[in-house]
Amino acid sequence: MFYGIAVFPEKHVQDLANSWRRRYDPHYAAIPAHMTVRDQEDWTEQQLQTAVDYLEQATAALSPFTVRFNRVSSFFPVSHVLYLALEDTAAMQELRNAVCSGPLTVKAPKHVYTPHLTIGQKMSADELHDMYGNLRMQSIDAVSRIDRIHLLYQTDNGSWTAYQSFLLRG
């Protein structure tokens, strides 16, 4: 079964992201607006239990923090993705480093970790450029408190559901 780790921003940030995701993100119905901490991976029951034990331990030392989304950006030309970008990525980078170590170390990352909240993907180049041109003109200032991470699993219909949530207790 596929598992992944993510954080969900507060509702007002999700609502902002969903105003665009509804139309431009084909994964809108499969998972709420989120920031990925660790990409999906197929785990055995033993790997799942090891991950749960490790996340309990890791989150005990991590403190809640605040993030600010301040602009729209894109991964073009690498991929046709638009996202809400963070003003400062340090706290999310620290969270990822703490979570993705020990038994959850990512051995061969596919890309450099860039904390973000996807608002559009799998668009044509023209559609991406049009949307990006319009959105980068908008003033964005959305703050969210991050106080937990979520271990998610993918259901048979392709949607993602929380397996367990872990409060940041540091």
Residue-by-residue pLDDT tens, the chain, 170 positions: 999 999 999 999 999 999 999 999 999 999 999 999 999 999 999 999 999 999 999 999 999 999 999 999 999 999 999 999 999 999 999 999 999 999 999 988 888 999 999 999 999 999 999 999 999 889 999 999 999 999 999 999 999 999 999 999 98
For residue 65, what is the domain's CATH number?
Answer: 3.90.1140.10
Query: Residue 123: which of 34, 35, 36, 25 has the closest Cα?
Result: 25
Question: Which is the catalytic residue, given 12, 116, 129, 150?
Answer: 116
pTM: 0.94
For residue 53, give both structure tokens. 């034990």
Q: Does the annotation mark 34 as catalytic?
A: yes
| Domain count for the chain | 1
Query: What range defines the domain where residue 96 resides?
Result: 2-167
Among the listed residues 34, 80, 129, 150, the single catalytic one is 34
In the residue annotation, 12 being an active-site residue is answered as no
Query: Cα torsion for 70, 71, 76, 82, to the nearest 10°?
Result: 90
